[in-house]
């Protein structure tokens, strides 16, 4: 975290926190049965930890995006979404990031938080706009050219192609690339290059 904060400060990049369930063994990708108070407590601890490193590096947190199973729980459960927002309160002004079209964005806005709607360059979608579960072998988009093509469609508001071939409209402010998706670095470089070649500016949500 210290190294990341220093790099973000040096390069002028926006620094965000990605808190998840306290379950390192499963990389936060299994939903835990925690109460809203427990979720608020663990998220707050994670945010304070990163914020301390950010202060040492001369920067600050600008956004919070839940990770993994906590992300998906927050998108559909108001009590989880609100617990995350309460944990983020000491760091305002701060932006909360969630899945484009998810009710969590409206819940957070009603609490006074700015939000950013997110879409994914390296994940396939279902026809209802949700993500193909990671248990499906076709859930990930690993080829850089395919990820870049999806990112361009998202940036142009052209929607994404679902697993059944349907075109799913998505209005997103920010695009995610998972660092543990095979080929992630090549995909990120290809996406940046394709966006710039098409006149699309990459910048933090405003």
Q: Which residues neighbour 34 within 8 Å (Cβ) at sequence distance 6 or greater?
A: 21, 42
Q: 148 and 187 in contact (C-beta within 8 Å)?
A: yes
pLDDT in the model for residue 106: 97
Q: pLDDT for 24-41, tens place per residue?
A: 999 888 899 999 999 999
In angstroms, rounded to a whole number, what is the distance separating the alpha carbons of residues 152 and 75?
24
In angstroms, rounded to a whole number, what is the distance separating the alpha carbons of residues 98 and 82?
13
Q: Write down how long the chain is.
A: 206
Task: Show me where the domains of the chain are located.
Answer: 1-119, 121-198
Q: Which residues neighbour 25 within 8 Å (Cβ) at sequence distance 6 or greater?
A: none
Count the alpha carbons within 13 Å of 165 in the hemisphere toward its beta carbon: 0
pLDDT in the model for residue 165: 86
Q: 150 and 121 in contact (C-beta within 8 Å)?
A: yes
pLDDT in the model for residue 203: 84
Burial class of residue 204 (count of CB atoms within 10 Å of its CB; 0-12, 13-18, 19+): middle
pLDDT in tens, the chain (206 residues): 999 999 999 999 999 999 999 999 998 888 999 999 999 999 999 999 999 999 999 999 999 999 999 999 999 999 999 999 999 999 999 999 999 999 999 999 999 999 999 999 999 999 988 899 989 999 999 999 999 999 999 999 999 999 888 899 999 999 999 999 999 999 999 999 999 999 998 887 66
pLDDT in the model for residue 206: 67
Say how many Å lie between the first and final Cα of the chain, rounded. Answer: 24
pLDDT in the model for residue 11: 92
| CA distances to 10, 92, 113, 146, 163 from 65, in Å | 22, 14, 13, 24, 25
- In CATH terms, the superfamily for domain 1-119 is Glycoside hydrolase/deacetylase (3.20.20.370)
SS3 2: helix
């Amino acid at each position: 975290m210290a190294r990341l904060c220093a790099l973000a400060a040096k390069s002028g990049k926006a620094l965000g926190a990605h808190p998840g369930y306290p379950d390192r063994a499963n990389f936060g990708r299994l939903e835990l049965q925690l109460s809203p108070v427990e979720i608020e407590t663990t998220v707050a601890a994670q945010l304070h930890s990163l914020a301390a490193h950010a202060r040492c590096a001369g920067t600050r947190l600008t956004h919070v995006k839940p990770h993994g199973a906590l992300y998906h729980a927050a998108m559909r459960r108001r009590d989880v979404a609100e617990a995350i927002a309460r944990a983020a309160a000491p760091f305002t002004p701060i932006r909360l990031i969630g899945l484009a079209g998810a009710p969590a964005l409206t819940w957070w806005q009603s609490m006074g938080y700015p939000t950013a709607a997110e879409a994914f360059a390296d994940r396939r979608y279902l026809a209802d706009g949700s993500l193909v579960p990671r248990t499906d072998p076709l859930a990930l988009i690993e080829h850089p050219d395919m990820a870049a093509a999806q990112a361009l469609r998202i940036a142009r508001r052209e929607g994404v192609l679902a697993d059944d071939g349907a075109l799913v409209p998505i209005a997103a402010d920010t695009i995610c690339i998972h660092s543990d998706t095979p080929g992630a670095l090549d995909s990120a470089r290809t996406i940046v290059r394709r966006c710039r070649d098409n006149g699309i500016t990459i910048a933090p949500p405003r």
